[in-house]
Chain A
Amino acid sequence: MQPDRNPFSELRPALERDEALAEANRCLYCYDAPCTRICPTHIDVPAFIKKIASGNLRGSARTIFESNVLGASCARVCPTEVLCEGACVMNDHHARPIQIGQLQRHATDWALDAGMLPFQRAEVMRPQLGTVGIIGAGPAGLACAAELMRLGIEPVVYEASGAPGGLNATGVAEYKMTRLTALVEVDQLVQAGITVKSGTRVGTDISIAALEKQHAAIFVGVGLGHVGKVGVPGDELAIDAIDYIEQLKVDRPAAEKQTRGKRVAVIGGGNTSIDVVTQAARLGAEAVWLLYRRAESEMPAYHHEVELARHDGCRFLFSTHTRGIEKGDGGLRLALESTDPKLPATLDVDLVVLATGQKPHLGFFADIKDLVVHFTRVQVDPTTMRTDNPMYWAGGDCTSGGKEVVNAVAEGKLAARSIVAHLEVTRG
């Protein structure tokens, strides 16, 4: 990491206009393009890139939003290396793939700056079909709401926290997407007409029975909850990765105070663990370790993310189980067990962060009749996102166990279409 650069400035700065034009002109404009096929929301990538090349940024942004109302977030947080850019035919042509994410950002940034709304409600709304209650104003819920409004159905989004946005606003590493970007994008969705009732926890502030009475269908997009404890002595001394990242994004001074000059150990091997180690390193931690119980090759984290963490100076301890956490000399002492005898048996740190996977909102799901939860996931028909309770659809992390924003958007959209098809039959 270059010391003179703001460690939280974006990893990939936005393209200048001329850069974007040159890059857009490199696109071959594939027929039935692989990038579009592999995108969970099936954005018509060649079409929006051609529009950038032709100077039609409004049309380009509209093409993106038609498939993905969170196009600005996805331009930043999508793992394009394994999605659109990984599928680009240029990879087979001895050339760099087209920078699709960066071009998508070029168009959607223009839209955010211009105040262009990402969608429009149907010209003729269809109140006779009833309204839809959406639980959770994260990417899945917002995408579902936008699609419903396009199709003429009025949604009401219930959000337990103080503001909509979900993990987009609080859970994305800052160098991938700033909190401000996420908030502006969500604000545009609200301006386009989505009704969000923030600070309204379903089950507490409004009963599930009342919700079922008010709405013709319900979409559950509640995501996942806190990171579970690892079940070793002293794990209450560790903090939750999700809380750690949220604090960084919402209250940077507090996060810096907690981390600067400290020794930080992160337990886990997914992309969230990478977000924590890189953020901690950038906050000025003296040393950062990542403790993972299996081999590097088995890490769920993307390879390019792991490389980023390595670049930031993170030290990896693979095949290492944490057996206990106890207070040591002014800090915390981790008891470790490894198949590799060369690895240490203890590690002295100041902060232990658990990134071992978020736990589902099991208690909440239990209150909904016939909602089947298998391991951590609400069970749905993947072609419709409908649950076993005919009134309920679900999508996003609560059904996938934790995937990308783009998957949540695709699932919310799919659910909306299924809901509308259902309401047309039953109420149309």
Chain B
Amino acid sequence: MADSPFRKNLQTTFCGISMPNPFWLASAPPTNTGGQIMRAFEAGWGGAVWKTLGQPVVNVSSRYSTVDYDGKRVMGLNNIELITDRPLEVNFREITEVKKRYPKHALIVSLMVESKRETWHEIVKRAEGAGADGLELNFGCPHGMSERGMGSAVGQVPEYACQITEWAKEAAKTPVIVKLTPNIADIRFPARAAKKGGADAVSLINTINSVTGVDLDSFVPRPDVGGKSAHGGYCGPAVKPIALSMLAEVARDAEVRLPISGIGGVQSWKDAAEFLLLGSSTVQVCTAVMHYGYRIIEDLCDGLSNYIEDKGMSSVSELVGKSIPNYSKWEDLDLNYKVVAQIDQDKCIGCGLCYTACEDGAHQSIFGTPDLEKNRTHCEINQETCVGCNLCSLVCPVQGCIDMKKIDTGREKLTWKEYSQDPAKHPHLGPHH
């Protein structure tokens, strides 16, 4: 095993549970069995959330489907797999075994049972009895289980979420983490409900309702289960921006103020750092492991550890929530902040993508002319009309060729709130500017 998962600056504590690093395997197929989790811990994972335990289910064959993009596989992953389909006793026995052999790693057990107080009490006690360091209540699974009144059917109704959290807390001695569903208009409400119910932490996001596509020959949506399909839960790199947005909403909500375990499309240490910066204390990973295996933990840890060092910090906790002060409402943004695009003609390869993007998709501020001698499209920014939207710099295939240069307007910061009180005082921002 490489040393990186045990570097001092990665040591993490979450709700009193300590672990070598902030990387957990999310409750999912990679945490289905004790054998898998032991291999994961051996590879260096800091923690794992055991695949959801409850009344064992029967699964269908043909469970996953993906969204591929421009030849790249698994940009998004959809699943219709349910919770554990193995006997509870077997799961508990393995939990005990794993905890005995890997006492320093966080072992969280995900739970989902029918909405009865006694049933929740019982499963909580059995999980803790087996050796769980903490519990994660699965209020998020959007497929199958929700049809039976569990999973996201609970997470979508704040009152239910609060109630069941209370039941779990009545029996629990270890920290209770409530896992939130993103399939809701405003994630803050179930998060507040979890808090109200006594949760020690929240984790988000669970998977998003999804249909990844339709087979154009058979007309059956994917995955095809004998000629029929059903919606599944979506995860993987494609969902990261949605997860980050929901994470930030919860992290800055004054009514929640709970530790957060972030989930959603984490592939690399950079993704993980972003989750930490927007307020999560640990980071859960699933799809990347389903794609590449447990071995990815080495670079997750190595990269994050190096980053912390490069930033002159000494621990993961210094990153947590560091970007939240920089995340505000639109109305608090500075209307007098100004950038314009600038092309480094020495780097330009003349593909014309910035021109056509600006012309058709933005603000018609690039002159694109054919340079017949070089057989290239020569592009120049019209800095007078450039609104600084960034689009050209985003589509440019050459690193560092288009730069968004800050223009000193010499004007004070001005928010929408301030501007809208008396627009006439700011004619430079008028509609006919």
Interface size class of B (residues with CB under 8 A): 10 to 19
Q: What mask results when residues 81 to 94 of chain A are scored 1 for a CB within 8 Å of chain B, else 0?
A: 00000010110110
CA of A87 to CA of B377, assembled, Å: 12
CA of A172 to CA of B53, assembled, Å: 70
In chain A, residues 23-37, which have Cβ atoms closer than 8 Å to a Cβ of chain B?
Answer: 25, 28-34, 37
CA of A31 to CA of B377, assembled, Å: 8
Residues of A within 8 A of B355 (CB): 31
By a beta-carbon cutoff of 8 Å, the part of chain A in contact with chain B is 21-22, 25, 28-34, 37-38, 53, 87, 89-90, 92-93
Q: What mask results when residues 339 to 357 of chain B are scored 1 for a CB within 8 Å of chain A, else 0?
A: 0000000000111110110
Say which residue of B70, B349, B353 sits within 8 Å of A31 (CB atoms).
B353
Are A38's CB and B377's CB within 8 A? Answer: no
Q: How far is the CB of A42 from chain B (nearest CB, A)?
A: 13
Residues of A within 8 A of B70 (CB): 25, 53
Residues of A within 8 A of B375 (CB): 34, 37-38, 87
Using CB atoms, name the residue of chain A closest to B379: A31
Residues of A within 8 A of B352 (CB): 30-33
Task: Given A22-B71, A87-B375, decide whether A34 and B350 contact each other with a Cβ distance below 8 A.
Answer: yes
23 A-B pairs, CB-CB below 8 angstroms? A21-B71, A25-B71, A28-B351, A28-B353, A28-B397, A29-B353, A30-B353, A30-B377, A31-B351, A31-B352, A32-B352, A32-B368, A32-B370, A34-B350, A34-B376, A37-B370, A53-B71, A87-B375, A89-B350, A90-B349, A92-B349, A92-B350, A93-B398
CA of A92 to CA of B377, assembled, Å: 13
By a beta-carbon cutoff of 8 Å, the part of chain B in contact with chain A is 70-71, 349-353, 355-356, 368, 370, 375-377, 397-398
Are B377's CB and A32's CB within 8 A? Answer: yes
Residues of A within 8 A of B376 (CB): 34, 89
Say which residue of A31, A32, A33, A93 sits within 8 Å of B397 (CB atoms).
A93
Task: Given A25-B70, A30-B377, A32-B368, decide whether A89 and B356 contact each other with a Cβ distance below 8 A.
Answer: no
Are B71's CB and A30's CB within 8 A? Answer: no
CA of A327 to CA of B71, assembled, Å: 63
Residues of A within 8 A of B353 (CB): 28-31
User: Most chain-B Cβ atoms within 10 A of its Cβ — which of A34, A37, A87, A90?
Assistant: A34
Residues of A within 8 A of B377 (CB): 30-32
User: Most chain-A Cβ atoms within 10 A of its Cβ — which of B350, B351, B377?
Assistant: B351
Residues of A within 8 A of B356 (CB): 31
Q: How far is the CB of B173 from chain A (nearest CB, A)?
A: 53
CA of A147 to CA of B39, assembled, Å: 67
Are B351's CB and A89's CB within 8 A? Answer: yes
Q: Besides the contacts A30-B351, A31-B368, A53-B70, what 15 more A-B pairs have beta carbons closer than 8 Å?
A: A29-B353, A30-B352, A31-B351, A32-B352, A32-B368, A32-B377, A33-B352, A34-B350, A34-B375, A34-B376, A38-B375, A89-B349, A89-B350, A89-B376, A92-B350
CA of A53 to CA of B72, assembled, Å: 12
User: Most chain-B Cβ atoms within 10 A of its Cβ — which of A32, A37, A90?
Assistant: A32
Q: How far is the CB of B216 from chain A (nearest CB, A)?
A: 9
Q: How far is the CB of B194 from chain A (nearest CB, A)?
A: 43
Q: How far is the CB of A220 from chain B (nearest CB, A)?
A: 31
CA of A93 to CA of B71, assembled, Å: 21
CA of A21 to CA of B349, assembled, Å: 23
Residues of B within 8 A of A25 (CB): 70-71
User: Most chain-B Cβ atoms within 10 A of its Cβ — which of A21, A31, A87?
Assistant: A31
CA of A283 to CA of B377, assembled, Å: 46
